[in-house]
Amino acid sequence: MGVVFDRSRFATNGKSVVSDGKNAGEDWFANVCKHLLPTKAGTALHYATGVDERSCQRYAAGDVKPPAYFLRALLRSPQGWTWLCAVMAESDEPWWREVKYAYEIIAVFEAKRKELLNGMGGKLNADTTGGP
């Protein structure tokens, strides 16, 4: 099983794509977009958020800072976890460490559950589902 949160995913040549090492720079969002969405970033952001495509292109290019409602829509998209990890990439806040740890535990649990179910031949009954 792979690592759920890989810090190197948000770094190039040892440098963060999010910040300049001291703080999140003015174009942190554009830097992340270039890394995660190397082509047609504005279009991809538009499809993920439903926000006007031209506005998304401006956000991705760093011409305009993305507003809070846009970031909220992005975090609530199917790619929300990836974006949250990018935003929090260099954070060592205790709450963020706890979230990552909980996510790792869930991944291990699910892998073990699948392994056990495969060993049972995929047969489920009320005693093995763990659900209501």
The domain locations on the chain are 7-89, 92-132
Q: What does the pLDDT read at residue 17?
A: 53
| Other CB atoms within 10 Å distance of the CB of residue 74 | 23
Tens of pLDDT, residue by residue, the chain (132 residues): 344 444 445 444 444 555 544 455 778 899 999 999 989 999 999 999 999 999 999 999 999 999 999 999 999 999 999 999 988 888 899 999 999 999 999 999 999 999 898 887 656 554 555 555
Q: CATH fold of 7-89, please?
A: 434 Repressor (Amino-terminal Domain) (1.10.260)
Q: Model's pTM, two decimal places?
A: 0.67
Q: Cα separation of 85 and 63, whole Å?
A: 23
Q: Tell me which DSSP letter residue 56 carries.
A: H
